Structure 1
Amino acid sequence: MSTARDLRVIALGDSFVAGVGDPDCRGWFGRLVSAAGRRSIPTTAYNLGIRRNTSADVLRRWESEVAARRAPGCDERLVVSFGVNDSIVEDGRLRVAADESVANLGLLLGGSTLPTFVVGPPPIADASVNRRVVELSARFGDVCAAAGVPFVEVVHDLADDDVWTAEVRDGDGAHPDAAGYDRLAALLLPTWLDWIGA
């Protein structure tokens, strides 16, 4: 019987987790998984990103989705990212209020028994949304610090990244193309490799 490491990673979140806009259909999560593979770490990856999902949507579904993919005896881990959809105004109000978004992240982290890595929400081509994303990302960072969970804030670096901003602007106003996801994955890679022990 093999004793080789068997890494299983479940990614929960929104369209950025799903990699919408990437012609290679890998997004940032697929790029991180590829980096593990290149380092000879056998990895099974489950991308559970859903377009338009908010923190409330993820909170409602995460336990059943994770339970269906558990593999006893494996190195199981959870990646979580949401927040942009929470910060969008629809019908005159935020889809999810900031206090609720923060509470939702805390509930998820408190309920998970798996090692978890949280990725902050990225900027889009909407200044008012981005102001809320900046504030929400900072609060997410505080929640993760209190929980002892690794967190990478990406909103500031990507807002200053010409490739990201141009691809988002020239695309659908929210999602980048492949090069933009390359930039996002590069911001996450050092923490990811440390987290998986690569």
Structure 2
Amino acid sequence: MTALRLCFIGDSIVNGYGDSTMLGWPGRVCAAARAAGHDVTHYNGGIRGDTSTLIRARWRAEIEARLPPAFPRALVFGFGINDCVHLNGARRVTPETSLENLRAMSSEAKALAPTLFIGPTPIDRARPAPQLMPGARLALDDSDIAALGRDLVEAARALGVPALDPRPDLEADEAWRRSLREGDGIHPGAEGYDALARLISAWPPWRALFGSSE
């Protein structure tokens, strides 16, 4: 049995927006760890609409308030989709700044606690971007998300931070695709979060947090 306090920092996919169970994937992976006998405390720091720049500005305060250094702890970051959003024709965060943010957070975080990164998830390419920001015209291209996701995962790994690119598996997962079609095209429903949680729960770096060598 492993005792571990976890803080998940990221965007609406980390938050679990669209999930009728309100668990999201962090709640699911932690519930599975708990069912396996581990003593897990989890804090969800996912904020809808947050870019890597906004996350960089707040993540340290988030974990300092929730993860006392006296206790075993770990951090899981997940972001990227909002960086690729174009608002009124302008991209919210340039790819170069996204990578700079990732490198800065990863370098600092891994010195504090075991740190993982989950890359951005694919969206439904057949759907127009939902207009989720009042007063702004929103555009989003899945090819931008795919390119940034690859670069973020590569940059994290280069710094020694285990990083998962969920895109290949989710693109091949009918449950994920169906869940996007039934939702807004960006955020899955419960079935989609189930698929993402299964992928992360089976990922060796996640399992290693709980002492598994598989």
User: Which amino acid in 1 is paired with 2:200?
Assistant: L
TM-score by length of 1: 0.93
Give the share of equivalent positions with the same residue, in percent. Answer: 37
Aligned: 1:105 with 2:102: yes
TM-score by length of 2: 0.86
- Where do residues 135-174 of structure 1 align in structure 2 (5 Å cutoff)? 135-174=147-186
Greater Cα shift, 120-129 or 82-91: 120-129
Which segments of 5 or more consecutive residues in structure 1 lack a partner in the other structure?
none
Q: Which residue of 2 aligns with 1:38?
A: 35
Greater Cα shift, 87-96 or 9-18: 87-96
User: Which amino acid in 2 is paired with 1:196?
Assistant: F
Greater Cα shift, 177-186 or 162-171: 162-171
Cα distance in structure 1, aligned partners of 2:196 and 2:2: 27
Which segments of 5 or more consecutive residues in structure 2 lack a partner in the other structure?
127-139
CA RMSD of aligned residues (A): 1.5
How far off its partner does 1:5 sit?
Answer: 4.5
How far off its partner does 1:120 sit?
Answer: 0.6
Cα distance in structure 2, aligned partners of 1:187 and 1:5: 21
Aligned: 1:75 with 2:72: yes
Aligned residues of 1:124 and 1:130 also touching (Cα < 8 A): yes
C-alpha change, 1:137 and 1:84, in structure 2 (3 Å) is same
Aligned residues of 2:73 and 2:113 also touching (Cα < 8 A): yes
Cα deviation per residue 1:133-187 (whole Å; 9 max; x = unaligned)? Answer: 1111111121121111111101222122222122112211211111111111111
Q: Which residue of 2 aligns with 1:119?
A: 118
SS of equivalent residue, structure 1 residue 196: coil
Aligned residues of 2:85 and 2:91 also touching (Cα < 8 A): yes
Cα deviation per residue 1:28-67 (whole Å; 9 max; x = unaligned)? Answer: 1111101110111101100010001111110010011111
